[in-house]
Amino acid sequence: MLQFGRGHPGTDQNPFRFGDVALGDYFTDRDEEIAGLTGDLLSGQNVLVLAPRRFGKTSLIVEVAARLRRADVLVAYLDLLRVTTKAQLAGYLATALYDGLVPPVERLIQKAGELFRDLPLRPKMTIGQDGTPSFEFGVGAEETDVDATLDRLLAFPAEVAKQRGRRAVLVLDEFQEIVALAPDLPGRMRSIFQFQPDVAHVYLGSRQHLLHKVFTETNQPLYNSAKVLVLGPIAPTVFGPFIAQRFATTEREITEEAIAYLLSLTAGHPHDTQKLCYFTWSFTSRGQPASRATVDRAVAQVLDTDTARYTELWDSLTANQRRMLEALARETKTTRPLGDDFRRRHRLGTYASVERALNALVDRGLVERFGRDTTVVPDVFLRLWLNEEPTPLSAYVCADCGEAFSLPVWHCPVCDHHWPQADTECGNCHAPRTTPTGTPSVTVGKA
């Protein structure tokens, strides 16, 4: 902070960011995905974007949306993460549509109330502090009215697109929530969306196994209705230079070795890499490049910060789930976690009990499943936490009697009391370390 006011304004601001959507200077790579996705959406192609949580799905679509808007496409963005009822969904959808399809300059002409005038249910409109309206539908409404309202809202982008002679894109982020909320919705969406040639739909989701099924199995309502784009980690050849350059903008440095080490820990996981970089940077001073040791210090700091959360999570798991999670965390990627070999190697139980544990872990998003046979524990720090050697409470064992201690001790041959090796006499009976036999009767070693 001292550098502020010395001609380097802003350079003491951490150049890494995690948690929120990464934009501008905080965003790297994804050139191919951006180009591909933009092209697909411009030509009306529906796309399903799959990746574990915090892999950068939202960041990617925000970048793509900006480009689409520059190309005059209307883009409505809906985040489904916290939607718990259909009525709430209808409200969020109306808000997203108004926000995305009616540009601010046209809002004076296109009054919000009028726009939704013909819906089976009338929304209640609230104007936020920033002047943007949001919509809500009454909680007590009949299910059939809510359904009919949803249908009308889902048809809306196509109507607006046609009226204005523009293309439209509807983004449905965290789409897996829809499947959990109302199993009939995907089918209803399909029947409406298939008559919308001027509207492209983007589904973003983190429950890959579930969504892959919804879009690729023949008996599923959204079967074959979207092109699948799987978003992977960011390649070290791109992430490495990005990290070095972000350090450099703040007049700090990081060694090549430290970058390689950091990326070997995070395997290019976008969020966890930024998080580790954030802490590594915070331990780096000018003129003293971040080293492998700095990265280790950052890892310790992150684990320290997150331990309470992980402990709580651990407490909530059954014994079988714990064993399974621990086994999976030992490997970056596991193939055939239900196979005999894996189960035997990690001393897991029967096929049925292991499968139950795995399903529960997948349901909770702690484990991601790709295809039938591959799993990962996507949270890099959870993986490191699970792999940490437990700090032994008693690292030293008395060779005489087997009692355990956290520091090296002597065993008093006179009164059986133990005292620290650094002391010269027994704290209890004051017998000197050299007893009449001439040698200490105790040797201690690390457990």
Ligand X SMILES: Nc1ncnc2c1ncn2[C@@H]1O[C@H](COP(=O)(O)OP(=O)(O)O)[C@@H](O)[C@H]1O
The residues that touch ligand X, with contacts defined as CB under 6 A, are 17-22, 27-30, 51, 53-59, 270-271, 274
* Residue 152 binds: one of Mg ion, ligand X, none (C-beta under 5 to 8 A by kind): none
The least distance separating Mg ion from the CB of residue 62, rounded to whole angstroms, comes to 9
* Residue 56 binds: one of Mg ion, ligand X, none (C-beta under 5 to 8 A by kind): ligand X
- The closest alpha carbon to 68, from 192, 170, 195, belongs to 170
- Packed helices 319-329 and 380-387: angle between N→C axes, nearest 10 degrees: 100
* Residue 18 binds: one of ligand X, Mg ion, none (C-beta under 5 to 8 A by kind): ligand X
Under the binding rule (CB under 5 A), the answer on residue 206 touching Mg ion is no
Q: How far apart are CA 170 and CA 96, in angstroms?
A: 9
Nearer to Mg ion, 58 or 196 (CB): 58
* Residue 383 binds: one of ligand X, Mg ion, none (C-beta under 5 to 8 A by kind): none
Is 198 in contact with 165 (CB distance < 8 Å)? no
Q: What torsion do the CA atoms of 192, 152, 101, 130 make, to the nearest 10 degrees?
A: -140
The least distance separating Mg ion from the CB of residue 172, rounded to whole angstroms, comes to 12
Q: And the tokens for 435?
A: 């007893």
One-letter identity of residue 292:
R
Of 220-259, binders to Mg ion (CB under 5 A) are: none
Nearer to Mg ion, 57 or 411 (CB): 57
Under the binding rule (CB under 5 A), the answer on residue 58 touching Mg ion is yes
The least distance separating ligand X from the CB of residue 121, rounded to whole angstroms, comes to 31
Nearer to ligand X, 247 or 396 (CB): 247
Q: How many CB atoms lie within 10 A of CB 317?
A: 18
Nearer to ligand X, 134 or 208 (CB): 208
Strand order in the sheet with 368-370: 334-335, 374-376, 368-370
- The closest alpha carbon to 16, from 233, 267, 242, 290, belongs to 242
Q: What is the 3-state secondary structure (H, E, C) of 159-212?
A: HHHHHHCCCEEEEEECCHHHHHHCCCHHHHHHHHHCCCCCEEEEEEECCHHHHH
* Residue 21 binds: one of ligand X, Mg ion, none (C-beta under 5 to 8 A by kind): ligand X
Nearer to ligand X, 18 or 314 (CB): 18
* Residue 227 binds: one of ligand X, Mg ion, none (C-beta under 5 to 8 A by kind): none
Nearer to ligand X, 121 or 204 (CB): 204
The least distance separating ligand X from the CB of residue 103, rounded to whole angstroms, comes to 24
Is 206 in contact with 231 (CB distance < 8 Å)? no
Nearer to Mg ion, 80 or 325 (CB): 80
* Residue 274 binds: one of ligand X, Mg ion, none (C-beta under 5 to 8 A by kind): ligand X
* Residue 252 binds: one of ligand X, Mg ion, none (C-beta under 5 to 8 A by kind): none
Q: And the tokens for 82?
A: 């916290």
Q: How many CB atoms lie within 10 A of CB 446?
A: 8
The least distance separating Mg ion from the CB of residue 22, rounded to whole angstroms, comes to 11
Q: Left (φ > 0), alpha (ψ -120 to 50) or beta: where does 425 sit?
A: beta
The least distance separating ligand X from the CB of residue 234, rounded to whole angstroms, comes to 6
The least distance separating Mg ion from the CB of residue 36, rounded to whole angstroms, comes to 19
Nearer to ligand X, 59 or 284 (CB): 59
The least distance separating Mg ion from the CB of residue 57, rounded to whole angstroms, comes to 5
* Residue 95 binds: one of ligand X, Mg ion, none (C-beta under 5 to 8 A by kind): none
Nearer to ligand X, 208 or 294 (CB): 208
Position closest to Mg ion via CB: 58
At 229, is the secondary structure helix, strand, or coil?
strand
Q: How far apart are CA 17 and CA 1, in angstroms?
A: 18
Q: How far apart are CA 222 and CA 216, in angstroms?
A: 8
Position closest to ligand X via CB: 56
Number of residues counted as binding Mg ion (CB under 5 A): 1
Q: And the tokens for 319?
A: 């014994």
Scanning 57-65, 68-76, 273-281, 377-385 for contacts with Mg ion by CB under 5 A, the matching segment is 57-65
Q: What torsion do the CA atoms of 62, 79, 233, 342 make, to the nearest 10 degrees?
A: -170
Q: Which residues here bind Mg ion, judged by CB under 5 A?
A: 58
